[in-house]
Chains A and B, each alone.
Chain A
Amino acid sequence: MHERLNEPVAILTGVDKSYQMDAVTVPVLKNIDLLVRPGHFTVLLGPSGSGKTTLLNLVGCIDKPDRGEVVVAGCPINKLSDDELADFRSANIGFIFQSFNLIPVLTTFENVEYPLVLAGMAPERRKRRVTKLLAAVGLSDRANNLPGQLSGGQRQRVAIARALARKPKLVIADEPTANLDSQTGAAILNLMRRMQERYRISFIFSSHDRSVISAADDLITLRDGVIQSIQRKKAPVEDLDSVHSDFIDTQAGA
């Protein structure tokens, strides 16, 4: 149990990723080595096109690298089939998207409940869990509203509750505040931070907004598909950094 707590939530080793645009192959990530610490609030910072989203996609197991290895929650994802990956995501990873990506025909309650339905949880347990989560994000009174009846900030709070529904090991948030005004964005950031601390879940999110830096435990700066720097603002949970100190130093100097 002790070991699991210290286990990195994601390890990327020598990862390359490129996309094909018409006849041109565009390299997006180049030889990425990264360790995401458990129970930390990790921020990927970088300008548009730096590879933040692609890196999140790999860590979130919705894409696979062209080269290198991605291990998430101790599982090498390269070897998993599509269905195994789906089950793995369902059990281990929560997603928060820039455009909220709620299912428009489901109510707030049902959106949060959906991952639990996929997990086959009993209706009574589902109800208790969703009610608790909606209370945590302050949307108990909006349980029966459709996403179209909610404000941007409220929708993102629903998305946060949905991401946390299955108590994942890791929550991926791709520019979660980009579509919100600064005040709402700050509130959402604050909420995510509180949720991370409350549920002891690793959060990794991308942003090109430097104002989020203060919220981060670990700050990873990307530029042109390579990690420019890794700054760890807080002491590690255990002595994880010393275990991987060489790895981190190398990246930081890149």
Chain B
Amino acid sequence: MMTLSLAVRNLLRNRRRSVATLLALAIGAASILLFGGYSANIRYSLLTAYVTAGGHLQIQHADFYQYGSGNPSAYGLADYERVLQGIRQDPALRDMVNVVSPTLQFGGIAGNFDAGVSRTVVGIGFAPDDINRMRQWNEYNLPIEPPHFALEGAPPDTAIVGLGVARVLLLCEPLKVGNCPSPQAAEKATGARLPDDIAALSGLEDGANKKQAAAGPTKARIELLAGHGRGTPNVAALQVLQAENQGFKELDDVAVILQLKQAQQLVYGRAAPRATALMVQLHRTQDMPAATQALKALLARLVPGQPWTVMDFETLNPFYVQTLQLFDTIFGFIFALIGGIVLFTVGNTMNAAVTERTVEIGTLRSVGLRQAGIRSLFVTEGLLLGVAGAVLGVTSALLIATVLNRMGLTWLPPGSSDALPLTLRVWGETRMIVGTAIGLVVIAALSAWWPAYRAANLKIVEALRHA
């Protein structure tokens, strides 16, 4: 108790130096936490983006992830409806699952033949009402307003395209896409028009399409060509309802989203429809391991012997893991850098204290304080500086984060096509806060150790002689 009391009083004795050290510690702690808060927000934003788009888990054919996009019919899940119902009724999964929805992904070519342009695309079929429910998922209370999925309640031959697809297919004007100027010297397309047989094939898909095909150049229409399950091409004429930001430029440049039934008809024709994945969105991300186990058990029961597998969104989206690793590395680097600064700042302060109090150390030793007592005294002072600095740093970080979050700043993440709100997520990140605080306190104590050791080993007579 006396050691603690002495340590506190000694720190208060040279207030200016103690405050300077405290500020260095606090600024260090706040910097680490603010970056950590920024990093945490990116993690939650990315996670939310992936989970709202594709769920936490997906049931796929074991080889679909590697080879399926080129030949979805070969890797489609037959009889998926039975599994879908099984998931909805499973007692273990029922409480964990928010939405389970089939999806069909395939490769194709989308063309705006009126404009004479086309490009390869990734077609994705969704069940629109499920997608709107999935988009409402916001476990981390991010300040986002999920866009309404426009295909819900729309005619079956409608589609949504990514902003990049809209730009390349010259659909910006009819879709009223902002910041999407037409090419300055767009040459009239010299390519051949849609061959008659393909156009006729498309017409067979839906007679109504013919009417829409003649609707005029101001309508946003595309023809989507996809490989049929039997190896022959199939075409659907689609009315594009809107161009929607897909979050990532790579996806924005290739995405053509249509209704699941339309996609199934395009890919499988009159054959039994399949899905390339069942997206499973959970209420809580932390349930992923339990849900994975339950899904595997369900698959073993419902489709024994089938090469169906359960994949999590981290496996399906390596960019997510890579981004987190990058931020974790930067966080570690910043922590090490600031830890080094703290080490030297506190060490310097304690060294100065030892030098200033050399005679006092000699006196304390004379009256019977052991070497360990001197060590405890200085290490306690370092610890107190660390604790006070960490508390001040955490408080500052929370205040700064609150102020910045309310300023409504935005930032453009790498690879993203849209600015996001700049949110520093410090509050609630208990593990990060406690870890940073403990880390800095330990560093402060460690940096006080050497001066404390030096003080304890001073020869008493030399210490008393010190001027």
Contacts and interface: CB of A to CB of B under 8 A. Distances in A.
Contacts of B373: 118
B366 A60 contact: yes
27 contacts: A54-B461, A62-B362, A62-B460, A62-B464, A63-B459, A63-B460, A83-B371, A89-B366, A90-B367, A90-B368, A95-B366, A97-B464, A99-B359, A101-B362, A101-B363, A101-B366, A101-B464, A103-B360, A103-B364, A104-B13, A104-B360, A105-B6, A106-B6, A106-B9, A115-B368, A118-B368, A118-B369
Interface of B: 2, 6, 9-10, 12-13, 359-360, 362-373, 459-461, 464
Contacts of B2: 114, 117
Interface string A44-70: 000000000010010010110000000
A105 B10 contact: yes
A74 B2 CA distance: 31
The 9 A-B residue pairs with the shortest CB-CB distance in the complex, in nearest-first order? A90-B368, A105-B9, A62-B460, A101-B363, A86-B370, A63-B461, A95-B366, A118-B368, A117-B2
Contacts, number: 67
Interface-centre pick from A83, A105, A114, A118 (highest chain B CB count, 10 A): A105
Interface of A: 54, 57, 60, 62-63, 82-83, 86-87, 89-91, 95, 97, 99, 101, 103-106, 114-115, 117-119, 162
A62 B370 contact: no
B9 A89 contact: no
A5 B123 CA distance: 106
Nearest to A82: B371
A162 B366 CA distance: 12
Given A57-B461, A62-B366, A119-B368, 16 more contacts: A54-B461, A62-B464, A63-B461, A83-B372, A86-B368, A86-B369, A86-B371, A87-B368, A87-B370, A89-B368, A99-B359, A101-B464, A103-B6, A105-B10, A105-B12, A162-B367
Contacts of A99: 359
A118 B377 CA distance: 13
If over half of B's interface residues share one DSSP class (helix, strand or loop), that class is named, otherwise mixed; here it is helix
B360 to A, nearest CB: 6
A83 B371 CA distance: 7
Contacts of A63: 459-461
Contacts of A115: 367-368
Nearest to B368: A90
B363 A103 contact: yes
A10 B12 CA distance: 41
Nearest to A86: B370
Nearest to A113: B2
A152 B369 CA distance: 25
Contacts of A101: 359-360, 362-363, 366, 464
B357 to A, nearest CB: 9
Contacts of A118: 367-369, 373
A117 B364 CA distance: 12
Nearest to A88: B368
A168 B307 CA distance: 88
Given A103-B360, A104-B13, A62 B368 contact: no
A86 B361 CA distance: 13
Contacts of B359: 99, 101
Contacts of B367: 89-90, 95, 114-115, 118, 162
A162 B363 CA distance: 12
A86 B368 CA distance: 4
A91 B2 CA distance: 19
A148 to B, nearest CB: 11
B251 to A, nearest CB: 65
Contacts of B371: 82-83, 86
B4 to A, nearest CB: 12
Given A57-B461, A97-B363, A117-B2, A105 B13 contact: yes
B390 to A, nearest CB: 24
Contacts of B368: 86-87, 89-91, 115, 118-119
Contacts of B364: 103
Interface-centre pick from B12, B362, B369 (highest chain A CB count, 10 A): B369
A54 B461 CA distance: 9
Contacts of B12: 105
